[in-house]
Amino acid sequence: MIIQDIKTTVLSLPHLSGYQDATIRHITSGRSQCFVHVYSDQGLIGLGLGGGATAAREVIERTLKPILLGQNALHIEKLWDDMFWAIRGVGRKGLAFSALSAVDIALWDLKAKYYETPLYQLLGPFTDSVPIYGSGGWTHFSLDELVTEQCGYVERGMMAVKMKVGKDFGQSEQEDVARLAAVREAVGADVQVFIDANNGYYAKQAIRMAKTFEKYNIGWFEEPVLADDIEGLAAVARAIDIPVATGEHEYTKYGFRDLIARGAADIVQPDVGRVGGISEWMKVAHLAHAFNLPVAPHAYQLVHLHLACATPNLKIVEYLGTVEEADRIFYTTFDEPENGVWAPDPNRHGLGLDLDPIAVKNYAIGSG
């Protein structure tokens, strides 16, 4: 199966509500997403997605596309390696890797369609359904908005939720505690509560805050310090009883090797849109398994649904309400969770996703 063409579609939804966490200085506005379409000589089209919007499009169109055209679409390991070396000098982390990730996802979607099977079946399933948690709890929410959102997830059957702490780059400690206390009281003792500082604290501050957070029975403490401060993450992990979750800002199996080997992660959180696509995500999951660590993927939930079903050391899958809001516009249909459990449709090939032509007409920007 030969790659005949690669195109991109960038959709922008400026009307959607914004969000803010510990280290986003201002409330963002809208959503945007870069989609990749890999066309084969057999009429099949693979769909992928990643971050970076129009900037990622430039990397895909100008750097990655020329080296992939004419190659066998089923030889994904070779294609991944070709892309990796093509961006060697311009980004083994960040934007260029987000572009690579999007193309890799599209190649796996195409391969599953070629074999006429859902992606999770192609990968080799461990299970056909996975648990999810409701994720949000943005720092710009009022206390009432925060409690309403978190309880809304519970009302949908999710027995775990996640909220933000570290507000204002860690400068609102008492407010962090008050907001957490309100959520714990509202959702009750039987619901797991995860907290995410989005790099907002310093190591000793995070350790001190964790002592207060512990009494609210916290399931994990996510990104307590700057993601690049691996020594700080390790120091926090050693000093507190709450498990440390991290990895969404890490790239490639090599980055996760260092993160894990240095004791900086109790729960590993690879992001398929950043880490290097499905190819590298699965390797990271296996690496975590070798260290007897659980995996809890970050964002990109419609892709992670399939990967999670093929991951024996899965802990739980993130389900972001803000992403769901955009997905309802982007796609004609998608699998939805029921009572806190999520399963891919066994009758839809690949990722089971198709862009809605109406969304493309109304929200596409630029050319690709």
Q: Report, as an integer, the average pLDDT of 87-92.
A: 86
Q: What is the pLDDT of residue 29?
A: 83
Task: State the DSSP code for 33.
Answer: E
Q: Report, as an integer, the average pLDDT of 172-183.
A: 98
| pTM across the whole model | 0.97
**204 annotated active-site:** no
Residue that the structure tokens 């690949």 belong to: 350
Q: Report, as an integer, the average pLDDT of 202-231.
A: 98
Confidence of residue 368 (pLDDT cuts 50, 70, 90): low
Dihedral sign, Cα of residue 13, residue 19, residue 20, residue 21: negative
Q: What sections of the chain are H helices per DSSP?
A: 53-59, 65-68, 76-86, 95-114, 119-123, 143-155, 167-170, 173-187, 203-213, 230-239, 252-261, 277-290, 301-309, 321-330, 357-363
Cα–Cα–Cα angle for 331, 297, 234, nearest 5°? 150
Catalytic residue (one of 65, 164, 167, 253): 164
pLDDT digits over 142-171, tens only?
999 999 999 999 999 999 999 999 999 999
Domains and CATH numbers, the chain: 3-116+356-365 (3.30.390.10), 121-342 (3.20.20.120)
pLDDT digits over 240-262, tens only?
999 999 999 999 999 999 999 99
pLDDT digits over 344-363, tens only?
999 999 999 999 999 999 99
Q: Report, as an integer, the average pLDDT of 318-325.
A: 97
Distance of CA 22 to the CA centre of its chain: 18
Given a cut of 70, is residue 103 above it in pLDDT?
A: yes
Q: What is the pLDDT of residue 72?
A: 98
Q: What is the pLDDT of residue 367?
A: 67
Q: Report, as an integer, the average pLDDT of 284-297.
A: 98
Neighbours of 89 (CB within 10 A): 8
What is the Cα–Cα distance from 354 to 54, expressed in whole angstroms?
A: 20
Strand partners, 34: 10, 50
Q: What is the pLDDT of residue 130?
A: 98
Given a cut of 90, is residue 366 above it in pLDDT?
A: no
Percent of the chain with pLDDT over 90: 96
Q: Minimal CA–CA distance to 196: which of 142, 267, 301, 144?
A: 267
Confidence of residue 91 (pLDDT cuts 50, 70, 90): confident
End-to-end CA distance of the chain: 23
**15 annotated active-site:** no
Q: Report, as an integer, the average pLDDT of 231-240.
A: 98
Q: Report, as an integer, the average pLDDT of 330-336.
A: 97
Given a cut of 90, is residue 28 above it in pLDDT?
A: no
Catalytic residue (one of 37, 253, 298, 306): 298
Q: What is the pLDDT of residue 92?
A: 80
